[in-house]
Structures are given as C-alpha cells and as structure tokens.
Amino acid sequence: MRALAAALLVLLLGTSARAERLIVSVSNHRVTVTPNYSGEELVLFGSVEKDAATPADRTAYDLVVTVMGPRADMVTRRKERTFGIWINTDYRQFLQVPSYLALFANRPFDSITSPEIARRQQIGLNNVLLTQRVSGDYADVVPNDAFRSAFIRLRTQRGLYREDASAVTFLTPTLFRTGIPLPAEVPIGTYEVEIKLFANGAFVGKTETAFEIVKVGFEQFVANTARQNGLVYGLVTAAMALMTGWMASIVFRKD
C-alpha cells in the first residue's frame, strides 16, 4: 500500500515536473465591429516555458490552436429534384456548434500526432465534435457524412470555418505566433482559444485564453432594437418611410 502511494507520488511529481508551461496572449481582447468593418486579423503570441524537469532531448514542439466562436443551433438543408424543380427536402439540425471555428498548426495535423490522439483531442475539422440531432438521438457522425461535410464546406466558403496547418510559426524553438483571421461577417460574442502542445507525437499540455467581439455604433443599436423592441422598430421604420415619401413629394413638387 505504502509502496503504491509512493509510486503514485513519484508519478504525479513526474507529471507536474514534466509539464511545460504555455504562456499566451492575444493582440486584442476586445474586437469592435464598426459599420465599415471589413475583416481583421488578430495575432496570438506565446512561448513554451521549460523548467528544470523538462527532458533535455525535448527541443521540438508542435502546436495546435483552436479558436471557437459563440455556439448556436444550425440547420443544414439539402435540395432534391422534385417535380422538375429543386426543393429543400431533407435536413439535419446541428446543436450548439461553434459559429466560428479555426484550427491552426505549425505542420500537418497527421504528422503532429497519431490519428487516435487527434480524435481524442479534436485536432482537425474532421475530428471536431459537431453534435447533430438524428431522429431523436444526439450524436456526431462519421466525418464523410454528406450533411456534415456540406456544413463544413459551406462554413469554410464563408471564411467562418478554417483549417491551416502552416499558420503557426515558431520564431525561436519556444516562441510562437499565429494570426487569427476574422472575416467581415464574423459572429459577435465570446471566442475561446485553446492552445495544445505536442512533443514527439504526445500531448504535453494545453492552455486557454479568450477574446470578445462586440459590435458598436449605430448599426449595433439598430440590430439590438430590431430584436428586442420589434414593434417600436417597425413603427420607426414605417415613420421613416412616410417621412422620406413626404420629403420627396415636397422636393420634387412641380406646381
């Protein structure tokens, strides 16, 4: 019993001593989307801090950065030819999936770690958990499922899902940086950033940070009012229409 406890202690000490520390920071923790916002790129900086217990032979590290936007329910629909025209027929509902999802690494995912670890750590768009509701059941499906791949493809086309295995660059063997591109139609909310460290194919440790995207100015005020006070918003819009029409009839009056 005592021997077992001692063995466990050694193991624990060993684990904690082996863990490199990751120190990261984002260039901007609060991104403001203004009416003329047309996309931006954040920069994530970080360094791998070794301590005395780090094995001397461990010099090369691999990093996978996952950026996840606010979660939302989404529906993917498929069109089929019915009576000669293309109609939405089948659909799948994706539950609480990230509205923005980016996976960055310093080299191809499959050369960083084994497929088994990649699946467990959700490395790569094929391995990220996207829960679907399939006839009452909640589950993710195989990566080559038609709805799942169409969902990822469409999000990728809009620049909202991305995967880049060369986005992380090591400035020195321990100092790294990566850009986080945010397209013009970026969803607002809190973004979680997860940085996972690998060495020789093994998962070594991870750290997390976050940033926030907020809309400011007139347009955000408009969007908020439209959602919260629909009736007032409708009345104001109607009044605006009447004003514009009335002004035009005054300005262009011929007699």
Partner 1 sequence: MQLYLPIADLPVNVFLVLAMGAAVGFVSGMFGIGGGFLMTPLLIFIGITPAVAVASVASHIAASSFSGALTYWRRRAIDPALASVLLCGGVTGTALGVWTFTQLRALGQLDLMIALSYVVLLGTVGSLMFSEGLRALMRTRRGAVPPRRTHNWIHGLPLKMRFKRSKIYLSVIPVVVIGIVIGFVGAIMGIGGGFILVPIMIYILRVPTSTVIGTSMVLTLVTMLFATMLHAATNHLVDAVLALILMVGGVTGAQFGARAGQKIRGEQLRLLLGLLILSVGVRFAVALVIRPEDLFTIRELGVGG
Q: Which residues bind partner 1 (CB under 8 A)?
A: 33-38, 70-81, 84-88, 91, 93, 96, 99, 147, 150-151, 153-155, 184-185, 187, 189, 219-220, 222-223, 226-227, 230-231, 233-238, 240-242, 244-249, 252
Q: Give least dist CB 125 to partner 1, A.
A: 15
* Residue 8 or 242 having the CB closest to partner 1: 242
Least CB distance from residue 16 to partner 1, whole Å? 34
Name the amino acid, one letter, at 189: G
CB closer to partner 1, 138 vs 246: 246
Alpha carbon distance 37, 131 (integer Å): 32
Task: Write down the least CB distance from residue 37 to partner 1, Å.
Answer: 6
Which candidate, 39, 148, 27, 159, places its Cα nearest to that of 97?
148
Angle between helices 218-228 and 230-251 (to 10 degrees): 120
Closest CB 252 distance from partner 1, rounded Å: 5
Closest CB to partner 1 among 148 and 196? 148
| Residue 226 Cβ vs partner 1, minimum distance, rounded to whole Å | 5
Nearer to partner 1, 80 or 116 (CB): 80
Say if strands 30-33 and 202-215 run parallel, antiparallel, or are unpaired.
parallel
226 half-sphere exposure, CB direction, 13 A CA radius? 7
- Residue 134 structure tokens: 């399939």
How far apart are the C-alpha atoms of 164 and 106, rounded to whole Å?
A: 9
Task: Tell whether the torsion through CA atoms of 24, 25, 27 and 28 is positive or negative.
Answer: positive
Specify the residue, 36 or 172, whose C-beta has the smaller distance to partner 1. 36
CB neighbours of residue 193 within 10 Å: 20
Cβ closest to partner 1, residue 29 vs residue 79: 79
- Expressed in angstroms, the distance from the first to the final Cα of the chain is 105
| Min separation Cβ 99 and partner 1, Å | 7
Helix, strand, coil share of the chain (percent; to 5): 30, 40, 30
> Residue 85 and residue 81: Cα distance in Å, rounded?
5
